[in-house]
Amino acid sequence: MAGGPIGACDSESTMRPIEQAIWLIESRLQDAPKLDDIARETGLSRFYISCLFAEETGTTLAAYVRARRLSEAAKVLLAGAPNILDVAIGAGYGSHEAFTRAFKAQFDLTPEELRARGLQQPLQLKEPLRMNATQHRARAHLRRHRTRRHSAAMWPIEHGARRVAAPAHARGRPASVVPAAG
């Protein structure tokens, strides 16, 4: 991709973890970016980057990568690629059948149907995500004001519960609740 992915910064160190994850995915889309690599390069655990990505973007990391790779494959097919198997392998699929199943699940038509029809029917391609400060602030606001089902505030004090300070790695999350010592 010429000039880097949309929304990429000059320095990876100034990017938030989600922006960095998107940048890594987009810059390595042809090489099938792995969760382990994204977690290592963002400095977060696999679990945390997965949860954070889903919360901030509304889609899982794996679903985003799959949709982006299939969207790029659809563009190649629309441009007239002669061999669907070559496109499938380029998109990271080991067989024509696996690619066709994933393609049909994503776009509700097979690669063969797409080539035959062209753009007669609109195709919902997944374009690169753009994370700007406004989106981040809106999502942060929603996270702060969302009622958490098991937050410490929901446990009545008269039932013997007390709040415990959250460990350093969980700051910003609701405090844990444990039974009061007898």
Q: What is the largest CA-CA distance in the chain?
A: 74
**Mean per-residue pLDDT for 79-101?**
92
| 55-to-22, 44, 93, 116 alpha-carbon distances in Å | 14, 15, 28, 38
Please give the model's pTM, rounded to 2 decimal places: 0.64
Task: Write down the pLDDT at residue 33.
Answer: 85
List the domain boundaries for the chain: 13-58, 65-127
Query: Where are the strands (E) in the chain, listed by range?
Result: 161-164, 176-179
Task: Write down the pLDDT at residue 4.
Answer: 45
| pLDDT bucket at 21, cuts 50 / 70 / 90 | very high
Residue-averaged pLDDT of the chain: 74
Task: Write down the pLDDT at residue 120.
Answer: 67
49-61 pLDDT tens trace: 999 999 999 999 9
Name which of 7-11, 68-72, 136-140 the model is least confident about: 7-11
Percent of the chain's residues with pLDDT above 70: 63
Give CA–CA dist 64/22, Å, rounded.
9
Give CA–CA dist 127/124, Å, rounded.
9
Percent of the chain's residues with pLDDT above 90: 45
Helix (H, G, I), strand (E, B) or coil at 40: helix
81's CB contacts (< 8 A; 6+ apart) are 87
| pLDDT bucket at 131, cuts 50 / 70 / 90 | low
Q: Which CATH number fits domain 65-127: 3.30.365.10, 1.10.10.60, 1.10.8.100, 3.30.300.30?
A: 1.10.10.60
**Mean per-residue pLDDT for 5-10?**
44
